[in-house]
A and B are shown apart, each in its own frame.
Chain A
Amino acid sequence: MAKVVFTPGNDVSTDAIYPGRYMATVLPSETPQYAFADNKEFNTKLREGILPPGSIIVGGKNFGCGSSREQAVSALKGHELVIVAKGFARIFLQNGINLGLQMVVCPDIEASEGDGLDISAKEVINRTSGKRFSISPLPAARQQIIDAGGLIPYTRKRIMAQARAD
C-alpha cells in the first residue's frame, strides 16, 4: 500500500508540473528539483526527499495537458512517483510510456491526500474509504514499448534488428 501525497484536480498542465522557465534544464538527472516548482509546499516535500518511492499523485481528467516538454515526465519519474488519474493528455501519456513513468488510468478514482491505495493490474483499492475502482488499460499500440522498458531500449532493439537485416 502506498499513500496519496497530492491531489491537484483536473487539467494539470505541464506548465504546472514543470514551469517553462526551467526548460533550459533538460537532463533527467537534473529536472526532478523543479517538479511542481510553483507549488512551494509540495515541491519542498519532494526536494527534501521525505516522500517514500511509490508515493501517489491522484489527478483528475486531462492530466499533463499542454506543452510536450518531456521534463514534466522525467521530473516526476525522478521522484519515483506513481500517477493515478481519471485520464491523461495524449503527449504526456506517450512521454510517460516512453520514459517508463508509472501511470494508472482510473476513470472513476476517488481519493484524498493521506489515503492509502493498493494498485493491482485490474483495480485500485482505496484502503481508507474501502472503495474499489477499475483501471483502463494503457494504449495497446504502445505495449511493445512498455514491455521493452521504454522507447530508448525499444528503438535500440529496432536499430540492431535493422543492422542485422542490412
Chain B
Amino acid sequence: MNMGMTIVEKILARASGAATVKAGDVVEPRVDLAMSHENAALVINQFMEIYEGTSQVPNVWDPSKVAIIFDHRVPAESSKTASNQKKIREFVAAQRITKFHDIRGDVGGICHQILPENGYVRPGFVVVGTDSHTTTHGALGAFSFGIGATEMASVWALGAALNIEVPATIKVNVTGRFGKFVGPKDLILHLIGRISAQGANFKVIEFHGPVIRKMSTSGRLVLCNMSVEAGATAGIVPADEETRRFLHDEAGVNGRINAVEPDADAVYEKKVDIDVSDLVPQVACPHTVDNVKAVSQVKGTKVHQVVIGSCTNGRLEDLEIAARILKGKKVASNTRMLVFPASAKIYAQALEKGIIGEFMKAGAVIMNPGCGPCLGIHEGALGDGEIALSTTNRNFRGRMGNPNSEVYLCSPAVAAVSAIKGVITDPAKGGN
C-alpha cells in the first residue's frame, strides 16, 4: 500500500505527472508561476547565454506565467539600477510578459505582497522566485521556494524546475490562544529560535492547528515568509475557507478554488507542538535571526531607528496594530521611525483609514512601498554604533547597510510602543 503524502508531495506528484512521490525522490515539476524582481537583469543575462550557439530563439516558455515586480530599489537609487530596470522593461515588452509591476503608485509594491493581492498564486501551485522570501506564498497552500538567477533562466527556458529533490516535511501544530500584543511574528520568531537558523534546512514546514485555522491570510504570510529563516525550502499552510475568502474577496479571483490537503497518514520527518497561550512578545537579537529572546530580556535597549514594513510585516493588519498604539502619541526624540507599506494598494487603504495620518502626526516618516531599508540598499541606512528595531525579517551584520550597527527584529506592536519610548519596550507594559 502507498504511504500517505504531505501537501508538498501531492503538489509535486501532480506537477511532475506522477501518481505518488515521496521525500527524496527526484522530480521535474512544471512551474505555475516564476517570479523575479530587479535581479531579472541577471536572469536575462543567463537566459540569453543558455541559447548561445543553439539556433533556438530565446523566448520564455509561457509569458503569462512569468511575473516581474520592481521592489528592491524603487525608485532607482543610481543610474546603474535605472539602466537595469530599463533593460528589464524592454525584455518584458519584447516577451509580452503580462504580470509586470513597474514603479507605480497604483499597482506597485513588494513582490511578496503583489503576488497574493493580485491572485497570482493559487493553492496547489508550484511557484519559484529569485528571492529567498518566495516561501511567503505557501500561505495560500502553494509549494513556493526561492531559487537563484541561473536556475530561473532555466525555468524560463523549459517551464520546469530541474532535478528537484522532494523535500521532507516538518509538521508544526499550533494550539492555544494568543495573548494581547502577541501574534504571528512572535510565533515564527519563537519557532526559529527553537529549531535554529538551519533547523529546517532542505525541509518544508507545514503549519497546522486551531491557531493557524483562525489566523488571517495576512498572518499566515508572516509565518511562511520567515520559514526560510529556519532554513526551510518552503513553509505551507493547507488552504481552507480563509484562503478562499482572501482569494475571492481581496485578490479578485473568480471561480472554484481547489485546496490540496495532506493525507491523514502522511509521513513527517518531525513534529513540533507549540502552545501560544504563554507566548510573550519575541525579539530576534543581533546578528542572527535565531538569537531569539523574550522582549523582557532586552527591554530598555536604546533604539535609534524603528522600521515598520516589508514583505514580512508591511500589511494593513500590521499598520493598524502599530497605528492604534501610536495614536495621540509621539515618536521619542532621538529615535526616528520609518514606515513602508508592502504595496500601493495597502498604502491607499491605510490612507483611507486614517492610519497614515496617525503615523505622520506621531512623527513617523512614510516611505514608498518597496523593500526600503530592510536590506540596506538605498534608504534608511544606519550610522556607526546605531541600533534599529525592525519588523523586517533579517538582522545579519551589515543588513541595514552598515556592518557597525545592530538590528533587532520584532512584531509591529513591539516596534510601535518602542518608538514612543525610544527603547525596546514590552507592549503589555508600555503605559497604554
Closest CB in chain B relative to A117 CB, distance in Å: 23
Say whether B377 faces chain A, with CB atoms less than 8 Å apart.
yes
Binding-face segment, B89-97, B109-117, B245-253, B395-403: B395-403
Say whether A108 faces chain B, with CB atoms less than 8 Å apart.
no
Q: Given that A20-B375, A66-B396, A141-B163 are known contacts, is A152 also in contact with B150, CB under 8 Å in the complex? A: yes
Complex contact B165–A15 (CB within 8 A): no
Say whether B20 faces chain A, with CB atoms less than 8 Å apart.
no
Interface of B is mostly: loop
CA distance A73 to B41 in the complex (A): 16
Binding-face segment, A51-59, A83-91, A124-132: A83-91
Residues of B near A65 (CB, < 8 A) are 197-198, 231
Tell me which of B201, B288, B399 contacts A20 (CB under 8 A): B399
Residue of A nearest to B233 (CB): A90
Which A5-56 residues have C-beta < 8 A from chain B?
Answer: 11, 13, 15-16, 19-21, 23-27, 38
Complex contact A158–B162 (CB within 8 A): yes
Interface of A is mostly: helix
Which B264-294 residues have C-beta < 8 A from chain A?
Answer: 288
Complex contact A13–B148 (CB within 8 A): no
Scoring B residues 30 to 60 as 1 if CB is less than 8 Å from chain A, else 0, what string do you get? Answer: 0000000011011001100111111010000
Residues of B near A20 (CB, < 8 A) are 375-377, 399, 401
Tell me which of B42, B84, B149, B198 contacts A87 (CB under 8 A): B198
CA distance A58 to B50 in the complex (A): 32
Residue of A nearest to B80 (CB): A24
Of A23, A25, A142, most B-chain CB atoms within 10 Å: A23
Say whether B18 faces chain A, with CB atoms less than 8 Å apart.
no
Residue of A nearest to B163 (CB): A141
Complex contact A24–B376 (CB within 8 A): no
Complex contact B398–A19 (CB within 8 A): yes
Say whether A156 faces chain B, with CB atoms less than 8 Å apart.
yes
Complex contact A16–B146 (CB within 8 A): no
CA distance A79 to B293 in the complex (A): 39
Residue of A nearest to B375 (CB): A20
Complex contact A24–B49 (CB within 8 A): no
Complex contact B164–A141 (CB within 8 A): yes
Residues of A near B401 (CB, < 8 A) are 19-21
Complex contact A70–B148 (CB within 8 A): yes
Say whether A151 faces chain B, with CB atoms less than 8 Å apart.
yes
Complex contact A98–B197 (CB within 8 A): no
CA distance A61 to B81 in the complex (A): 33
Closest CB in chain A relative to B65 CB, distance in Å: 17
CA distance A156 to B163 in the complex (A): 15
Complex contact B42–A90 (CB within 8 A): no
Residues of A near B120 (CB, < 8 A) are none
Scoring B residues 358 to 396 as 1 if CB is less than 8 Å from chain A, else 0, what string do you get? Answer: 000000000000000001111000000000000000101
Complex contact A159–B201 (CB within 8 A): no
Tell me which of B39, B46, B154 contacts A69 (CB under 8 A): B39
Q: Given that A20-B375, A26-B39, A73-B148 are known contacts, is A13 also in contact with B132, CB under 8 Å in the complex? A: no
Closest CB in chain A relative to B259 CB, distance in Å: 27
Complex contact A25–B80 (CB within 8 A): yes
Q: Given that A141-B165, A152-B49 are known contacts, is A94 also in contact with B132, CB under 8 Å in the complex? A: no
Complex contact A89–B396 (CB within 8 A): no
Tell me which of B54, B130, B165, B202 contacts A156 (CB under 8 A): B54
Complex contact A15–B398 (CB within 8 A): yes
Say whether B131 faces chain A, with CB atoms less than 8 Å apart.
yes
Say whether A99 faces chain B, with CB atoms less than 8 Å apart.
yes
Closest CB in chain A relative to B144 CB, distance in Å: 13
Residue of B nearest to A65 (CB): B197
CA distance A154 to B163 in the complex (A): 11
CA distance A13 to B399 in the complex (A): 10
Scoring A residues 127 to 145 as 1 if CB is less than 8 Å from chain B, else 0, what string do you get? Answer: 0000000000001111011
Say whether B220 faces chain A, with CB atoms less than 8 Å apart.
no
Closest CB in chain B relative to A22 CB, distance in Å: 9
Complex contact B46–A152 (CB within 8 A): yes
Q: Given that A19-B398, A89-B231 are known contacts, is A68 also in contact with B132, CB under 8 Å in the complex? A: yes
Residues of B near A160 (CB, < 8 A) are 54, 56
CA distance A25 to B162 in the complex (A): 27
Complex contact A62–B150 (CB within 8 A): no
24 contacts across the A-B interface (CB closer than 8 A)? A11-B198, A15-B375, A15-B376, A15-B399, A20-B377, A20-B399, A23-B72, A26-B45, A38-B398, A62-B201, A67-B132, A70-B39, A70-B42, A71-B42, A87-B198, A91-B132, A98-B150, A141-B163, A142-B163, A150-B150, A154-B162, A156-B53, A159-B50, A159-B158
Nearest 6 pairs of A and B residues by beta carbon: A95-B148, A26-B42, A20-B375, A62-B198, A13-B396, A141-B165
Interface of A toward B, CB cutoff 8 Å? 11, 13, 15-16, 19-21, 23-27, 38, 61-62, 65-71, 73, 87, 89-91, 94-95, 98-99, 139-142, 144-145, 150-152, 154-156, 158-160, 162-163
Instruction: Give 17 new A-B contacts, CB below 8 A, not counting A15-B396, A38-B397, A152-B154.
Output: A20-B399, A23-B377, A25-B80, A38-B403, A62-B201, A67-B132, A68-B146, A68-B148, A87-B198, A95-B150, A99-B150, A151-B153, A152-B46, A152-B49, A156-B50, A156-B52, A159-B54
